[in-house]
Amino acid sequence: MEKVSLYIPCYNAERYIKECLDSVMNQSYKIDEIMVIDDGSTDRTVDIAKNYPAKIIKNRENKGLAACRNIAFREAKNEFVAALDADCVASPEWLAQLMQRFVNDDIAGVGGILIERHTTSRADKWRSVHMAQQWGPELLENPPFLYGNNNVFNKYCIKAVGLYNENFRTNYEDVDLSVRLYKSGFRLIYNPEALVEHLRRDTIRSALETYWHWKYYKYMHPNYINKLSQRMIMRLRSIAEYDGIFKDFFMQDLRERNYKLLLLDFICVFYCLWLDLREIAKEFF
């Protein structure tokens, strides 16, 4: 049995961290090392985590999710490094299901399925439908990318491609890493038998802002767009996509009879457009 280090990146996660750590302690696959990477929390996250046999690594200031992931890979003493976000609860067989898929040396990582615990409010339901963090019920080799919220990576492979890009901070860092792994000839596996529950609760505003940040980092990352004129072009290209996004969301909700989400689909376009225009005004004027 391969030894595994597991890390939990945290920022003001006192509402979730106990249940997350309880699920880690309840894994059928023995975890050799547990690390809690605290990213400058100002709540009781660290106080709660101290009640568990975990190594707590504290950032004095908030550095972002990608930086926390890199700290974990630098500090981990084992070659296999598992990640579980602080607002997630892993099923008892989660880690065992991930580890059993490392059958070849070119497999860099294996990720599991995330399901939403809360879907009764309009915001939570909208997030579960339009920001699903999974690839469906079937086992997949080389999915588009592995979500960062629950996975195991071979540390050698991650270091071979230069770790996570910390400029992405809290979004898109998982997509970027997966793309670089594929370009380097590594494989990724998605195993829906490795299940975690997402504990997050959203308001309409927080759900839409999270969606906008997904798009923001996809199109506007400074590593890809260095000139002001190029950033303006990409910003306008992103805005031009909203018509297609609205149609896709609207038709999906009609097809699936999610009628209470239709108004939120409409609001999404205009709210995200306002956020884009606000950023344009900050940067260009």
Domains in the chain, ordered, with CATH? Answer: 4-198 (3.90.550.10), 204-284 (no CATH)
Q: How far apart are CA 91 and CA 78, in angstroms?
A: 22
Residue 161 and residue 177 in contact, taking contact as beta carbons nearer than 8 Å: yes
Helix segments in the chain, DSSP class H? 17-25, 45-49, 65-75, 94-99, 122-130, 155-160, 173-183, 204-220, 228-240, 242-255, 262-284
3-state secondary structure of 9: strand
Mean of the pLDDT values across residues 50-54?
97
Residue 169, C-beta contacts closer than 8 angstroms, at least 6 positions apart: 64, 65, 66, 67, 217
Cβ contact 173:165 at 8 Å: yes
213 has a pLDDT exceeding 90: no
Quote the CA–CA distance of 102 and 75 in Å, as a whole number. 22
Q: What's residue 206's pLDDT?
A: 95
Tell me the C-alpha distance between 75 and 72, whole Å: 5
pLDDT in tens, 190-200: 999 999 999 99
Flag the least confident range among 110-114, 179-183, 203-207, 223-227: 223-227
Task: Answer for the pair 193, 98: CB distance below 8 angstroms, yes or no.
Answer: no
How high is the pLDDT of residue 221?
53
Q: What is the pTM of this model?
A: 0.91
246-269 confidence digits (pLDDT tens): 899 999 999 999 999 999 999 999
For residue 276, pLDDT over 90 is answered with no
Rounded-to-integer distance, Cα 108 and Cα 271, Å: 38
pLDDT score recorded for residue 229:
63
The whole-number pLDDT of residue 280 equals 78
pLDDT of residue 186: 98
Indicate the range of 28-42, 97-111, 152-166, 218-232 predicted with least confidence.
Answer: 218-232
Is the pLDDT score of 145 beyond 70? yes
Q: What pLDDT was estimated at residue 228?
A: 59
pLDDT of residue 179: 95
What digits encode the pLDDT tens for the residues 216-243?
Answer: 776 655 455 555 566 666 777 777 778 8
Q: Could you count the other beta carbons within 10 Å of the beta carbon of residue 132? A: 15
